[in-house]
């Protein structure tokens, strides 16, 4: 049975007095696989950080599983946009995944046998268990991203956030990566920030257009025409995709897009 796992109401966020997100309202159901798109600086990463509890809203509410984000951090996995690991640093793939077991505010302790079993299971899930003893710096971009997903999965989350995870992966690797996410989506709800809309459109179930404001487009709306139009979606007062959804003519659509 599907239930609401994210509920955002009247959310506003500013940075140094400049609005970044304005009156954002949306809810997400369990089992969804949503891609967030929008221009650079439009607020996509900020919105993810607000949902993770890494930032505090100026006004409005953010609830995950009915609670403030920080209260349910153990139910959330996160793969950030830039994961900086020195390729010459002698850390193994298994050690990287075990980092996911370190909870904020707790002192480091030697990984338990249960932790290692969980890490190996997470690596097996992303088909990287045979590399567990390799140094992380020896892997390709796509392999590293699979390891970082395993690190996010090691705590058995119900919701997974990924911010531009395919930036360092070649075209072939991207297809394999999205296929992996589609498989994970059978048991985990996913939100991903990506510019690769044409590539990812065959895998996701919904699209969120973000540029200060937010517009959600569910699976029933996602036609080929809409996917193409989403490249021009600015998510301002009226989202161009919504014009298609309401059957307005192309002339009006193009006039809006040229403003």
Q: Is residue 98 helix, strand or coil?
A: helix
| Mean pLDDT, range 225-241, rounded to an integer | 52
Residues 20-48 have pLDDT tens digits of 999 999 999 999 999 998 888 889 999 99
- Give the model's pLDDT for residue 167: 76
Write phi, then psi, for 208 (nearest 5 degrees).
Answer: -115, 120
CA distance 149 to 113: 21
Helical H segments across 56-168, by residue range: 93-98, 113-125, 141-153
Q: Which range among 17-26, 102-111, 182-191, 203-212 shows the weakest confidence by mean pLDDT?
A: 102-111
pLDDT, the chain, mean: 81
Tell me whether strands 206-211 and 213-217 are parallel, antiparallel or unpaired.
antiparallel
CA distance 45 to 55: 11
Going by pLDDT thresholds of 50, 70 and 90, the confidence category of residue 90 is confident
Going by pLDDT thresholds of 50, 70 and 90, the confidence category of residue 253 is very low
Going from the C-alpha of 203 to that of each of 55, 126, 200, 245, the distances in angstroms are 29, 17, 5, 21
- Give the model's pLDDT for residue 1: 62
Q: Quick check: 222 pLDDT over 70?
A: no
Residues 208-221 have pLDDT tens digits of 888 899 988 886 55
- Give the model's pLDDT for residue 251: 34
CA distance 15 to 22: 12
- Give the model's pLDDT for residue 259: 33
- Give the model's pLDDT for residue 91: 87
| Mean pLDDT, range 167-183, rounded to an integer | 83
- Give the model's pLDDT for residue 164: 87
What are the chain's domains?
A: 4-257 (3.40.50.300)
- Give the model's pLDDT for residue 209: 86
Going by pLDDT thresholds of 50, 70 and 90, the confidence category of residue 64 is very high
CA distance 219 to 204: 8
- Give the model's pLDDT for residue 207: 87
User: Which has the higher per-residue pLDDT, 163 or 2?
Assistant: 163
- Give the model's pLDDT for residue 172: 77
Percent over 70 (pLDDT), the chain: 78
Q: Which range among 148-152, 218-222, 240-244, 252-256 shows the weakest confidence by mean pLDDT?
A: 252-256
């Amino acid at each position: 049975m599907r239930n609401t796992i994210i509920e955002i109401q009247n959310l506003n966020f500013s940075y140094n007095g400049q609005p970044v997100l304005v009156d954002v309202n949306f809810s997400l159901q369990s089992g969804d696989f949503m891609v967030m798109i929008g221009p650079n600086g439009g607020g996509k990463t900020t919105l993810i950080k607000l949902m993770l509890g890494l930032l505090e809203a100026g006004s409005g509410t953010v609830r995950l599983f009915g609670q403030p984000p920080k209260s349910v951090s153990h139910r959330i996995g996160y793969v950030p946009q830039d994961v900086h690991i020195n390729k010459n640093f002698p850390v193994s793939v298994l050690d990287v995944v075990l980092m996911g077991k370190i909870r904020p505010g707790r002192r480091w302790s030697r990984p338990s046998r249960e932790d290692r079993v969980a890490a190996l299971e997470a690596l097996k899930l992303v088909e990287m268990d045979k590399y567990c003893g390799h140094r992380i710096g020896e892997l390709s971009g796509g392999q590293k991203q699979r390891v970082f997903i395993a690190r996010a999965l090691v705590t058995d989350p119900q919701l997974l956030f990924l911010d531009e995870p395919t930036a360092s992966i070649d075209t072939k690797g991207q297809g394999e990566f999205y296929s992996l996410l589609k498989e994970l989506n059978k048991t985990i709800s996913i939100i991903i920030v990506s510019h690769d809309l044409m590539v990812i459109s065959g895998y996701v179930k919904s699209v969120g257009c973000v540029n200060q404001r937010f517009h959600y487009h569910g699976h029933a709306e996602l036609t080929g025409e809409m996917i193409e139009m989403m490249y021009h979606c600015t998510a301002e007062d009226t989202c161009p995709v919504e014009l298609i959804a309401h059957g307005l003519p192309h002339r009006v659509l193009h006039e809006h897009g040229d403003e």
